[in-house]
Amino acid sequence: MSSLTAAEIAVTGSDRGIVIAVAVVALVALVIAFVLRAGVLAAGQGTPKMQEISAAVQEGAAAYLARQFRTLGIFAVIVFFLLFLLPGESGERIGRSVFFLLGAAFSASIGYFGMWLATRANVRVAAAANGDGGREKAMEVAFRTGGAVGMATTGLGLLGASVVVLVYAGEAPKVLEGFGFGAAMLAMFMRVGGGIFTKAADVGADLVGKVEQGIPEDDPRNAATIADNVGDNVGDCAGMAADLFESYAVTLVASLILGSSAFGTKGLIFPLIVPAIGVLTAIIGVYITKAKIGEPGLVTINRSFYISALISAVLSGLAAFVYLPTSFADLGVDAVAGQEGNPALIATVAVIIGIVLAAIILWLTGYFTGTETKPTNDVARASLTGAATVILGGMSVGFESAVYTALVIAGAVYGAFLLSGSIIVSLFMVALAGCGLLTTVGVIVAMDTFGPVSDNAQGVAEMSGEVSAEGAQILTELDAVGNTTKAITKGIAIATAVLAATALFGSYSDAIGQALREAGEASADFFVANVVSPGTLVGMLMGASVVFLFSGLAINAVARAAGAVVMEVRRQFRDIPGIMDGTGKPEYGKVVDIVTRDSLRELATPGLLAVFAPIAVGFGLGVGPLAGYLAGTIATGTLMAVFLANSGGSWDNAKKIVEDGKFGGKGSPAHEATVIGDTVGDPFKDTAGPAINPLLKVMNLVSLLIAPAVVTLSVGDSANGPIRYAIALAAVAVIVVAVLVSKRRESSLHSEPVPMEKQPV
């Protein structure tokens, strides 16, 4: 028995009406985004000095993203033409390439919108905390800034998917592969580039400002402060918004591919209904988030998340029982006609599994990284014995939390998989769990953007010197809450990435089976022979190795760029008279220019590794080892991403705990120890860790796209062997050259070393 073919899947009548309704919901989300945007921009902007600092951050962030998009445009054009070379009907290839550009454009637009609004919200949050509304107003402005970005994220993702389904019907999954790949590729580059930018500036600013000169984090005498504040926006706002958008798009891609195979037309439509419900509940979640007097900010935000998640679960269950049949026989799909069970019931359970997973990850990550919980307080206490014990404590938190988080995600994946005895239906349930998690994305983006906006607001306040003690305390509290929400959303983003990657892994298997049938091979025998082999273990080891190499390249890039920042800030303290007494002005633009150049040239190597490694494995070793490769990346990437994110989060908040007066407070040896721990954690949590999310999906999508070509060259005529190996060797050559260039590259300032006698001791 086989599932319906693309030609047999039609979207007509009531189904077409539902897709149109989903598109309308997507447009409503975009309208709400602009309503929230207008509300944020209507808030007071504070003093002229605060506005001047905010304007400098706006200028730096816009200039960086403009240069980044010009750089990434070259990659996008090359991939656009390469997609034409892949197998498929001409209309399918054209649609895939065109929607690749659309996915990339949407991802870039979301990133830019997030940056644009966040750089204008920072001064408004600072002004509100300084008396123009107080703590409650400041928190509202910060959260609704994120809400606007969240609505735009869900709106564009849902709009793109619904338009493809309306236009292409049964061919939609193939076209959406291009849409998801475009979104994922841009998000990965933005995550890597923005992460290098922000953490190079942050590490450099901390090491010279806090440790060497003993001045506060956002002291205007530090030349790296503007670059640090710019980095918060291009890394955390633009990068994270693009990351969650591509998670949204890629999860929908996997759901539609597997759903059309398992449930036919119903499986093509239902994955659109679930996130559409999430849009409506996200609107509720954003508008009910209002701080109460005396209530911790994190409690307020978490309550809104749980309420919106509960509403999503109830409405998704109702939608499943209204839209889906209660018998597999009524789906009209031969492959599942004999299955027992209730499709509506198991789809409801799958969606609820995804929603519950988000809630558990929220609690688990908050426990390991929050300022009020034992793990992070233990790391802060370790500062009494020096930086080494702080680093060891943070690493311990990261390792332990990675185990629990991975087990929870694995439990969710396996729980969804066990809902059916049919492999294709089980994989569809995993994808639906991902759709369930997507219902929370609007609130998740709001929670994430809240962090950098609050951080920037504190920076604007400190640099201006025009905020009252009460206002400064409010901003410090919001910044600490933002650190935790950023860590939480990173955890949820990782869970989303794993569910999407697992579903794409199932889509890869489905694509291999279809290609083998078209080639006249006995797919089961061929696939088993290639999966149950030493080559598959080799593939798994290679996949795990790529995750480590990717992380190492990203962290090393931060180290090189941060070194350049340290040298420049030291030079300015030494060569510009009057900086420390306030009569001399630092050259902020020099540092911004350094991290811009370094981050843009450093992002190419990790990106090329992500795209060309699966090509090398697939064409060089075959479909079985490529399956092992994907399994190795998913397993290792999950653990590595959580370890990096949570260890970095614990170090960051341990520093906040000491700065709030515990264990000696600011300026103490304990404070210096936590600053060092935080600088180690910066590239962990904001560069390498988050970039693993799109990495997993990029590699899975590349594998899915090349699967038919790999099968075509692997079976039948043995004369195809030289072509396969030539492609594999070319991919390996690209990776080797990129890595060697990265290793030999000198930082922009290292080419002009400062003599030892002129360096401060």
Q: What amino acid is encoded at 118 in this protein?
A: A
Does residue 757 carry a pLDDT above 50? no
Q: Are 438 and 237 in contact (CB under 8 A)?
A: no
Does residue 514 carry a pLDDT above 70? no
> pLDDT digits over 572-606, tens only?
888 888 877 777 788 878 888 888 888 877 777 88
> pLDDT digits over 553-578, tens only?
888 888 888 888 888 888 888 888 88
Compute CA distances 137 → 133, 147, 450, whole Å: 5, 15, 13
> pLDDT digits over 675-730, tens only?
888 888 888 888 888 888 888 888 888 888 888 788 777 765 555 678 888 988 99
Q: What amino acid is encoded at 246 in this protein?
A: E
> pLDDT digits over 34-86, tens only?
999 999 998 888 888 888 888 888 888 888 888 888 878 887 888 888 777 77
Residue with the bigger pLDDT between 480 and 519: it is: 480
Q: Which residues contact 106 (CB under 8 A, 6 or more apart)?
A: 156, 157, 160, 182, 183, 245, 249
Does residue 759 carry a pLDDT above 50? no
Residue with the bigger pLDDT between 122 and 220: it is: 122
Where in the chain are the domains?
Answer: 6-750
Residue with the bigger pLDDT between 223 and 364: it is: 364
Residue with the bigger pLDDT between 323 and 90: it is: 323
Quick one: pLDDT band at residue 186, thresholds 50, 70, 90?
A: confident
In whole angstroms, give the CA distance from residue 635 to residue 718: 34
Tell me, yes or no, if the pTM score tops 0.75: yes
| pLDDT reported for residue 510 | 65
| pLDDT reported for residue 38 | 92
Does residue 283 carry a pLDDT above 70? yes
Q: Which residues contact 295 (CB under 8 A, 6 or more apart)?
A: none
How would DSSP label each residue in 179-199? HHHHHHHHHHHHHHHHHHHHH
| pLDDT reported for residue 318 | 94
| pLDDT reported for residue 353 | 94
Q: Are 230 and 592 in contact (CB under 8 A)?
A: yes
